[in-house]
Amino acid sequence: MKKKVVMLSVVMAIMLVLCTMPLACTGVGNKVAVISLSGPIQYGSSGLLFGGIVISPKLVRSQLERAKKDISVKAVVIQVESPGGNVAACQEILNELEQVEKPIVVSFGDMAASGGYFISAKADKIVALPGTLTGSIGVIAEIPNLKGLFDKLGIEMEVFTGGEHKDMYAGVRELTPEEKVIMQDMTDQLYDQFVQVVVEGRGLSESTVRKLATGQLYTGEQAKALGLVDELGGLSKAIDVASSLAGIEKPQVEYYKKETPSLLSTLLEMGVQRLHTVIQVQSLGAEGILLLETLDNPYPQPEYR
Protein backbone atom coordinates (compact mmCIF):
# COMPACT_ATOMS: atom_id res chain seq x y z
CA MET A 1 0.00 0.00 0.00
CA LYS A 2 2.85 2.37 0.86
CA LYS A 3 4.44 1.68 -2.53
CA LYS A 4 1.23 2.73 -4.30
CA VAL A 5 1.08 5.94 -2.24
CA VAL A 6 4.71 6.72 -3.09
CA MET A 7 4.16 6.04 -6.80
CA LEU A 8 1.05 8.22 -6.81
CA SER A 9 2.99 11.03 -5.15
CA VAL A 10 5.74 10.76 -7.77
CA VAL A 11 3.22 10.88 -10.62
CA MET A 12 1.49 13.90 -9.10
CA ALA A 13 4.84 15.65 -8.67
CA ILE A 14 5.72 15.03 -12.34
CA MET A 15 2.34 16.34 -13.43
CA LEU A 16 2.82 19.44 -11.31
CA VAL A 17 6.19 20.12 -12.96
CA LEU A 18 4.74 19.56 -16.43
CA CYS A 19 1.88 21.90 -15.71
CA THR A 20 4.32 24.75 -15.30
CA MET A 21 4.86 24.34 -19.05
CA PRO A 22 2.01 26.09 -20.94
CA LEU A 23 2.07 23.76 -23.96
CA ALA A 24 1.78 20.58 -21.90
CA CYS A 25 -1.14 21.75 -19.77
CA THR A 26 -3.14 23.95 -22.06
CA GLY A 27 -2.28 22.59 -25.50
CA VAL A 28 -1.55 26.14 -26.58
CA GLY A 29 1.82 26.88 -28.17
CA ASN A 30 3.52 29.82 -29.79
CA LYS A 31 4.24 28.49 -33.26
CA VAL A 32 3.90 30.39 -36.51
CA ALA A 33 3.78 27.99 -39.45
CA VAL A 34 5.34 29.21 -42.70
CA ILE A 35 4.03 27.63 -45.89
CA SER A 36 5.78 28.34 -49.20
CA LEU A 37 3.73 28.34 -52.41
CA SER A 38 5.67 28.88 -55.63
CA GLY A 39 4.79 28.42 -59.29
CA PRO A 40 1.74 28.62 -61.55
CA ILE A 41 -1.59 27.66 -60.00
CA GLN A 42 -3.25 24.58 -61.47
CA TYR A 43 -4.52 21.14 -60.54
CA GLY A 44 -1.35 19.37 -61.64
CA SER A 45 1.04 18.92 -64.51
CA SER A 46 -0.78 19.58 -67.76
CA GLY A 47 -0.03 19.51 -71.45
CA LEU A 48 2.17 17.07 -73.30
CA LEU A 49 5.40 18.29 -71.77
CA PHE A 50 6.44 18.17 -68.13
CA GLY A 51 4.64 20.87 -66.20
CA GLY A 52 7.20 21.44 -63.46
CA ILE A 53 6.43 22.62 -59.94
CA VAL A 54 2.95 24.05 -59.48
CA ILE A 55 0.69 25.33 -56.71
CA SER A 56 -2.17 22.85 -56.59
CA PRO A 57 -5.26 22.66 -54.36
CA LYS A 58 -4.02 19.27 -53.17
CA LEU A 59 -0.70 20.73 -52.04
CA VAL A 60 -2.33 23.67 -50.26
CA ARG A 61 -4.91 21.42 -48.59
CA SER A 62 -2.26 19.08 -47.19
CA GLN A 63 -0.18 21.93 -45.80
CA LEU A 64 -3.16 23.69 -44.24
CA GLU A 65 -4.44 20.45 -42.69
CA ARG A 66 -1.09 20.07 -40.97
CA ALA A 67 -1.32 23.60 -39.56
CA LYS A 68 -4.94 23.15 -38.47
CA LYS A 69 -4.24 19.88 -36.64
CA ASP A 70 -1.20 21.20 -34.78
CA ILE A 71 -2.66 22.85 -31.67
CA SER A 72 0.64 24.61 -31.00
CA VAL A 73 0.34 26.58 -34.27
CA LYS A 74 -1.31 29.90 -33.49
CA ALA A 75 -0.93 31.62 -36.88
CA VAL A 76 0.02 30.83 -40.47
CA VAL A 77 2.23 32.78 -42.86
CA ILE A 78 1.95 31.88 -46.52
CA GLN A 79 4.71 32.89 -48.91
CA VAL A 80 3.23 33.41 -52.37
CA GLU A 81 5.37 33.50 -55.50
CA SER A 82 3.11 33.07 -58.53
CA PRO A 83 2.06 34.66 -61.83
CA GLY A 84 -1.43 33.16 -61.44
CA GLY A 85 -3.11 30.26 -63.14
CA ASN A 86 -6.26 28.23 -63.66
CA VAL A 87 -9.46 29.91 -62.44
CA ALA A 88 -11.02 26.84 -60.83
CA ALA A 89 -7.79 25.89 -59.04
CA CYS A 90 -7.48 29.43 -57.68
CA GLN A 91 -11.05 29.33 -56.41
CA GLU A 92 -10.59 25.97 -54.71
CA ILE A 93 -7.41 27.15 -52.98
CA LEU A 94 -9.18 30.27 -51.75
CA ASN A 95 -11.96 28.06 -50.34
CA GLU A 96 -9.35 26.00 -48.48
CA LEU A 97 -7.81 29.12 -46.97
CA GLU A 98 -11.21 30.35 -45.81
CA GLN A 99 -11.64 27.15 -43.75
CA VAL A 100 -8.66 28.01 -41.55
CA GLU A 101 -9.74 29.62 -38.27
CA LYS A 102 -6.23 30.71 -37.29
CA PRO A 103 -4.86 34.10 -38.46
CA ILE A 104 -3.38 33.99 -41.95
CA VAL A 105 -0.82 36.48 -43.22
CA VAL A 106 0.41 36.36 -46.82
CA SER A 107 3.95 37.38 -47.72
CA PHE A 108 4.53 38.34 -51.36
CA GLY A 109 7.87 37.67 -52.99
CA ASP A 110 9.04 38.80 -56.41
CA MET A 111 5.60 38.33 -58.01
CA ALA A 112 2.11 37.58 -56.72
CA ALA A 113 -0.01 38.55 -59.68
CA SER A 114 -3.51 37.75 -60.90
CA GLY A 115 -4.31 34.30 -59.48
CA GLY A 116 -1.46 34.76 -57.01
CA TYR A 117 -3.27 37.84 -55.74
CA PHE A 118 -6.68 36.13 -55.97
CA ILE A 119 -5.76 33.37 -53.48
CA SER A 120 -4.29 35.99 -51.13
CA ALA A 121 -7.03 38.63 -51.20
CA LYS A 122 -8.98 37.32 -48.20
CA ALA A 123 -6.01 36.83 -45.88
CA ASP A 124 -6.11 38.70 -42.58
CA LYS A 125 -3.10 40.74 -43.70
CA ILE A 126 -0.97 40.98 -46.84
CA VAL A 127 2.70 41.98 -46.70
CA ALA A 128 4.59 42.86 -49.89
CA LEU A 129 8.08 44.03 -50.73
CA PRO A 130 8.27 47.53 -52.23
CA GLY A 131 9.38 45.97 -55.52
CA THR A 132 6.90 43.09 -55.57
CA LEU A 133 4.88 42.87 -58.78
CA THR A 134 1.26 42.29 -57.87
CA GLY A 135 -2.28 43.11 -58.91
CA SER A 136 -2.98 42.15 -62.53
CA ILE A 137 -6.61 41.69 -61.50
CA GLY A 138 -8.36 40.22 -64.51
CA VAL A 139 -9.03 37.08 -66.50
CA ILE A 140 -7.99 35.78 -69.91
CA ALA A 141 -9.40 32.96 -72.03
CA GLU A 142 -7.89 31.90 -75.34
CA ILE A 143 -9.13 29.81 -78.25
CA PRO A 144 -6.48 29.26 -80.93
CA ASN A 145 -7.42 29.26 -84.61
CA LEU A 146 -5.10 26.68 -86.18
CA LYS A 147 -6.65 26.64 -89.63
CA GLY A 148 -3.61 28.34 -91.17
CA LEU A 149 -1.29 25.86 -89.46
CA PHE A 150 -3.39 22.92 -90.65
CA ASP A 151 -3.18 24.26 -94.21
CA LYS A 152 0.59 24.66 -93.94
CA LEU A 153 1.03 21.10 -92.66
CA GLY A 154 -1.40 19.72 -95.22
CA ILE A 155 -3.89 18.54 -92.61
CA GLU A 156 -7.58 18.40 -93.38
CA MET A 157 -10.00 18.01 -90.49
CA GLU A 158 -13.43 16.46 -90.90
CA VAL A 159 -15.50 17.67 -87.95
CA PHE A 160 -18.86 16.16 -86.97
CA THR A 161 -20.84 17.81 -84.21
CA GLY A 162 -24.07 17.51 -82.32
CA GLY A 163 -24.79 20.97 -80.98
CA GLU A 164 -24.54 24.31 -82.72
CA HIS A 165 -21.38 25.51 -80.97
CA LYS A 166 -19.72 22.21 -80.11
CA ASP A 167 -16.74 22.78 -82.44
CA MET A 168 -16.11 26.38 -81.43
CA TYR A 169 -13.29 25.22 -79.12
CA ALA A 170 -11.67 22.83 -81.60
CA GLY A 171 -9.38 25.45 -83.14
CA VAL A 172 -10.23 24.46 -86.70
CA ARG A 173 -12.06 27.64 -87.69
CA GLU A 174 -12.66 31.25 -86.76
CA LEU A 175 -15.33 31.94 -84.14
CA THR A 176 -18.62 33.38 -85.33
CA PRO A 177 -19.78 36.75 -83.94
CA GLU A 178 -22.28 34.93 -81.72
CA GLU A 179 -19.57 32.63 -80.36
CA LYS A 180 -17.33 35.58 -79.57
CA VAL A 181 -20.18 37.01 -77.49
CA ILE A 182 -20.49 33.65 -75.68
CA MET A 183 -16.78 33.67 -74.84
CA GLN A 184 -16.83 37.31 -73.75
CA ASP A 185 -19.86 36.72 -71.49
CA MET A 186 -18.07 33.81 -69.81
CA THR A 187 -14.90 35.86 -69.39
CA ASP A 188 -16.85 38.81 -67.95
CA GLN A 189 -18.52 36.52 -65.39
CA LEU A 190 -15.16 35.16 -64.22
CA TYR A 191 -13.85 38.74 -64.05
CA ASP A 192 -16.82 39.75 -61.87
CA GLN A 193 -16.05 36.85 -59.53
CA PHE A 194 -12.47 38.10 -59.15
CA VAL A 195 -13.67 41.63 -58.43
CA GLN A 196 -16.05 40.39 -55.71
CA VAL A 197 -13.26 38.43 -54.00
CA VAL A 198 -11.13 41.58 -53.82
CA VAL A 199 -14.09 43.66 -52.61
CA GLU A 200 -14.81 41.21 -49.79
CA GLY A 201 -11.20 40.51 -48.91
CA ARG A 202 -9.85 44.04 -48.95
CA GLY A 203 -12.90 45.93 -47.74
CA LEU A 204 -12.88 48.21 -50.77
CA SER A 205 -15.89 49.44 -52.70
CA GLU A 206 -16.75 47.67 -55.93
CA SER A 207 -16.30 50.87 -57.92
CA THR A 208 -12.79 51.29 -56.46
CA VAL A 209 -11.82 47.71 -57.25
CA ARG A 210 -13.11 47.94 -60.82
CA LYS A 211 -10.93 51.01 -61.36
CA LEU A 212 -7.93 49.00 -60.16
CA ALA A 213 -8.89 45.78 -61.95
CA THR A 214 -7.56 46.68 -65.38
CA GLY A 215 -5.18 43.72 -65.57
CA GLN A 216 -2.19 45.97 -64.94
CA LEU A 217 0.62 45.21 -62.52
CA TYR A 218 1.42 47.36 -59.48
CA THR A 219 4.57 47.52 -57.39
CA GLY A 220 4.23 46.61 -53.74
CA GLU A 221 4.57 50.28 -52.87
CA GLN A 222 1.77 51.24 -55.27
CA ALA A 223 -0.39 48.35 -54.05
CA LYS A 224 -0.11 49.54 -50.45
CA ALA A 225 -1.13 53.07 -51.41
CA LEU A 226 -4.13 51.63 -53.31
CA GLY A 227 -5.23 49.40 -50.45
CA LEU A 228 -4.35 46.10 -52.11
CA VAL A 229 -1.75 45.21 -49.46
CA ASP A 230 -1.41 46.17 -45.79
CA GLU A 231 2.30 46.38 -45.01
CA LEU A 232 5.64 46.68 -46.77
CA GLY A 233 8.35 44.22 -45.85
CA GLY A 234 9.63 40.71 -46.25
CA LEU A 235 9.00 37.38 -44.56
CA SER A 236 10.24 38.59 -41.17
CA LYS A 237 7.72 41.40 -41.26
CA ALA A 238 4.95 38.96 -42.16
CA ILE A 239 5.91 36.72 -39.23
CA ASP A 240 5.82 39.72 -36.89
CA VAL A 241 2.37 40.70 -38.15
CA ALA A 242 1.09 37.13 -37.76
CA SER A 243 2.51 36.92 -34.24
CA SER A 244 0.79 40.17 -33.30
CA LEU A 245 -2.55 38.92 -34.63
CA ALA A 246 -2.17 35.71 -32.61
CA GLY A 247 -0.98 37.48 -29.46
CA ILE A 248 2.45 35.85 -29.52
CA GLU A 249 5.45 37.76 -28.15
CA LYS A 250 8.22 35.30 -29.00
CA PRO A 251 7.08 33.06 -31.85
CA GLN A 252 8.63 29.73 -32.67
CA VAL A 253 8.74 29.64 -36.47
CA GLU A 254 8.25 26.32 -38.22
CA TYR A 255 8.90 26.14 -41.96
CA TYR A 256 6.82 23.52 -43.70
CA LYS A 257 8.77 21.71 -46.38
CA LYS A 258 7.08 21.14 -49.71
CA GLU A 259 7.36 17.62 -51.01
CA THR A 260 8.62 17.57 -54.59
CA PRO A 261 7.26 14.62 -56.58
CA SER A 262 9.88 12.22 -57.87
CA LEU A 263 10.43 11.69 -61.58
CA LEU A 264 9.01 8.18 -61.21
CA SER A 265 5.77 9.36 -59.61
CA THR A 266 5.43 12.03 -62.29
CA LEU A 267 5.83 9.44 -65.03
CA LEU A 268 3.32 7.14 -63.37
CA GLU A 269 0.84 10.01 -63.12
CA MET A 270 1.28 10.81 -66.79
CA GLY A 271 0.91 7.20 -67.85
CA VAL A 272 3.01 5.16 -70.27
CA GLN A 273 1.05 6.19 -73.35
CA ARG A 274 1.39 9.88 -72.44
CA LEU A 275 5.12 9.46 -71.93
CA HIS A 276 5.40 7.82 -75.35
CA THR A 277 3.68 10.86 -76.82
CA VAL A 278 6.14 13.17 -75.04
CA ILE A 279 9.08 11.29 -76.54
CA GLN A 280 7.56 11.31 -80.03
CA VAL A 281 6.70 15.01 -79.97
CA GLN A 282 10.33 16.07 -79.47
CA SER A 283 11.01 15.49 -83.18
CA LEU A 284 7.99 17.43 -84.44
CA GLY A 285 9.35 20.93 -83.98
CA ALA A 286 7.53 23.99 -82.64
CA GLU A 287 4.60 23.73 -85.04
CA GLY A 288 3.94 20.09 -84.23
CA ILE A 289 4.19 20.70 -80.50
CA LEU A 290 1.74 23.62 -80.73
CA LEU A 291 -0.67 21.49 -82.71
CA LEU A 292 -0.57 18.52 -80.33
CA GLU A 293 -0.78 20.71 -77.24
CA THR A 294 -3.94 22.31 -78.65
CA LEU A 295 -5.50 18.98 -79.55
CA ASP A 296 -4.58 17.68 -76.08
CA ASN A 297 -6.48 20.60 -74.47
CA PRO A 298 -9.55 21.08 -76.68
CA TYR A 299 -11.32 23.51 -74.34
CA PRO A 300 -10.28 27.03 -73.37
CA GLN A 301 -8.56 27.29 -70.00
CA PRO A 302 -9.73 30.58 -68.43
CA GLU A 303 -6.96 31.87 -66.24
CA TYR A 304 -6.31 34.53 -63.65
CA ARG A 305 -2.92 35.42 -65.11
* Secondary structure in 3-state letters for the chain: CHHHHHHHHHHHHHHHHHCCCHHHHHCCCCEEEEEEEECCECCCCCCCCCCCCCECHHHHHHHHHHHHHCCCEEEEEEEEEECCEEHHHHHHHHHHHHCCCCCEEEEEEEEEECHHHHCCCCCCEEEECCCCEEECCCCECCCCCCHHHHHHHCCCCCCCCCCCCCCCCCCCCCCCHHHHHHHHHHHHHHHHHHHHHHHHHHCCCHHHHHHHCCCCEEEHHHHHHHCCCCEECCHHHHHHHHHHHHCCCCCEEEEECCCCCCHHHHHHHHCHHHHHHHHHHCCCHHHHHHHHHHHHCCCCCCEEC
Q: Which residues are catalytic?
A: 114, 166
